Amino acid sequence: MEWFTFSLLSPTNAGIIDFPTYVIGTVITILFPGPNSLYVLTITSQKGWRHGVWATLGIFIGDSILMIAVALGAASLLISSPLIFNLVRIVGALYLAWMGLGLVRSGWQRWFADPHHAVASDTPMRLMSMHPLWAALLLSLTNPKAIFFFIAFFSQFIRPDYEHPAHTFFYLAAVLQLMSMLYLSALICAGQFFLKFFLRYQRLAAALWMLAGALFIGFAIRLAIA
């Protein structure tokens, strides 16, 4: 069947308009700081690359679920039900704020801890004691605005007269996921470097945990009021 031929791997044959512009827009979108990338960098720099890999997997699963939900029409449910949308939005904002407060609290404790015992007695806070897969998965799924972003962003590059728009959507989603995973992998490498650096400079680590926490709280406020 023509629908399954390898020719559909070509962006043009897959019903995509201006694929180079889509790639550029995807790169800009991925590089723009957000809760997902910040979490991967933070958890890696605090607990090592294995936790970063689990967090990346959680984000991949969460974003994939959202993209599939868009393809299946879940966006229309959120649009038609403000109650559901606001409920998910509030839960997401509370979760981000909880993460942020946990990071600020951890940084505050590190700042005043004895530098000779800070590493040995570093008791994991509740946030960082969560498995990073579940923490990142919840972080991804509790942002309902991501669904509307996927619709608005992808729809610009789907040819209106193409017979299989679902194929085009999944093609664009696969490209986005691939580039996102490459970027998050780079953050894992960066976080592993910071982990070794922060073991020597505990107060600098403490300041950056508090900064990361403040950014998460800022994301929460923006999600709650926007």
pLDDT tens string 150-209: 777 777 787 877 777 777 788 888 899 999 999 999 989 888 887 776 666 677 777 777
The stretches of 156-201 forming alpha helices (DSSP H) are: 165-200
Identify the pLDDT of residue 118. Answer: 45
Identify the pLDDT of residue 78. Answer: 57
Alpha carbon of 161 to those of 10, 157, 173, 207: distances in Å?
A: 17, 12, 19, 53
Better-predicted residue by pLDDT, 152 or 218 = 218
* Average of per-residue pLDDT across 134-161: 79
* Average of per-residue pLDDT across 134-162: 79
Give per-residue pLDDT as tens, 41-60.
888 887 888 999 999 999 99
- Count the Cβ atoms, other than its own, within 10 Å of residue 91: 16
**Residues 43, 191: contact at Cβ < 8 Å?**
yes
- Helix/strand/coil percent split, the chain, to 5: 80, 0, 20
**Residues 194, 58: contact at Cβ < 8 Å?**
no
Q: Where are the domains of the chain?
A: 18-24+34-225
3-state secondary structure of 16: strand
Distance CA 10, CA 163 (A): 15
Distance CA 99, CA 160 (A): 41
